[in-house]
Amino acid sequence: MARNNTNNNKRALMGVLLVLLLMGCYACYELLLVPALRGSTLIDNPTAKAITVGIDDKVYNVPARSFEKIHLSEGHHRINCKEHNITDQDLDLDPTAFGVINPTQSKYVIYNIIYSEKNLKSQFKPYMVEGREVYSMLGEPEVTTALFIPDRTLGKGNIDDKAPSVKDYNRLNQDYSFLTKIFRLNDFFDFYDKNNQ
């Protein structure tokens, strides 16, 4: 009888430990892994002066030449930025909440970076980007001043994400893979000049 009680107590203790372990794993997943997988929502300020941005009922101070990482849900919001004459304007985070909020109405470039170990130069076409000739394989680079610029990769192509090297990038296609990345205009030209020689 005492042996049965001891076995039952061990089973109960093991069950409790298993539940605690699962809860700990879930907490680690929610706190550490999910934010890393989801991407980021950034209020960007590439200008030389600090700005104050109000979104819904929250105010963010964004220093010059930096960004503020924030958490917003997908959907409709209201934005204000006195320094750039934005007063109670619609801010729609759609189809994703991840990307760049651009209250300064600065220029950004959305560009498809190609990863390949093969020579694909013959497949690239020339396009004009702000008066410069730029080559691209998957369509024209997009220049935008939109108030919200969605991260089309949902977590790998925002301005705070460093473009991976060919060796580090997971290729699904044997010929090439690509990453759609958002750049500040000057950062785009720096990246292009460095990587397309």
Ordered mean pLDDT values, 10 residues apiece, the chain (197 residues): 67 76 65 58 97 97 97 95 96 92 98 88 95 95 97 88 69 73 96 86
Please report how many Cα atoms fall inside a 13 Å half-sphere around the Cα of residue 81, on the Cβ side.
23
CB 78 within 8 A of CB 55: yes
**DSSP 8-state symbol, 171:** P
pLDDT of residue 93: 94
CB 55 within 8 A of CB 103: no
Torsions phi, psi of 191, nearest 5? -65, -45
3-state secondary structure 70-84: ECCCCEEEEEEEHHH
What is the three-class DSSP state of 137?
coil
What is the three-class DSSP state of 183?
strand
pTM over 0.75: yes
Which residue(s) pair with 133 in the sheet? 128
